[in-house]
């Protein structure tokens, strides 16, 4: 493989990517996407859209998924730090409903590959965070679904900080639990 290190986890398809960083007295350089390296790692995805969001400490976005137009995503943080989570929603998967989380930061430069049919969300741990992601399909209005970030049936262990107020959108506060997803 080229200039990336790839870690897998207990949920098939999820991958944490650490790029090789070249640094000197001027700063650093790294490749954030190199098609051949990612193909060698089993990520052969035609990305068609890049997105970026900015959030402040305590913002929790998610858990989101696309209903009719599922997307593969490659996410990373370019400023600050977040705890990023993916939940397996693949029907028939032996890990359906299980989650995996990873710290993504500007400092560690890690990226997280999330295949289609996973719910995704993140919690901002720094004063501010800029979050970028590549998507394998275009944005389709009204195609977003969601699952409660605090669903006890999933049991995500979010790294809440004492004294930090959790900030969610009204939509993210209202998502149902995974039990309702199973019947949809």
Look up 160 and say whether it is catalytic. Answer: no
Give every CB contact of residue 34 below 8 A, 6+ residues apart in sequence.
2, 3, 4
Q: Give me the catalytic one of 133, 139, 140, 183.
A: 133
Give the 3-state secondary structure percentages of the chain, helix then strand then coil, rounded to 5: 10, 40, 50
- Which of 28, 64, 140, 183 does the annotation list as catalytic? 64
pTM of the model: 0.94
**pLDDT < 50 regions, the chain:** 1, 184
Instruction: Tell which CATH classification among 2.60.120.10, 3.30.1330.10, 3.40.50.10860, 2.60.120.590 matches the domain 45-107+116-182.
Output: 2.60.120.10
* Catalytic (active site) residue 133: yes
41: phi then psi, degrees, rounded to nearest 5: -90, 5
pLDDT of residue 87: 98
**Which residues, other chains included, contact 129 with Cβ-Cβ below 8 Å and sequence gap of 6+?**
54, 55, 56, 59, 77, 79, 80, 81, 82
Give residue 3's pLDDT.
85
């Amino acid at each position: 493989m080229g200039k990336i290190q790839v870690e897998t986890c207990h949920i098939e398809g999820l991958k944490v990517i650490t790029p090789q960083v070249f640094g000197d007295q001027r700063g650093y350089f790294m490749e954030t996407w190199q098609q051949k390296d990612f193909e060698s790692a089993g990520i052969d995805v035609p990305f068609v859209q890049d997105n970026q969001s900015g959030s402040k400490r305590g913002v929790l976005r998610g858990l989101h998924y696309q209903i009719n137009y599922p997307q593969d995503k490659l996410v990373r943080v370019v400023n600050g730090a977040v705890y990023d989570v993916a939940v397996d929603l693949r029907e028939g998967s032996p890990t359906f409903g299980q989650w995996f989380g990873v710290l993504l930061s500007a400092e560690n430069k890690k990226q997280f590959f999330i295949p289609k049919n996973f719910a995704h969300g993140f919690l901002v741990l720094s004063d501010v965070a800029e979050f970028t992601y590549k998507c394998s399909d275009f944005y389709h209005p009204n195609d977003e679904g969601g699952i409660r970030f605090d669903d006890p049936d999933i049991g995500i262990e979010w790294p809440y900080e004492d004294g930090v107020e959790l900030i969610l959108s009204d939509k993210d506060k209202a998502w149902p639990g995974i039990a309702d997803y199973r019947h949809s």
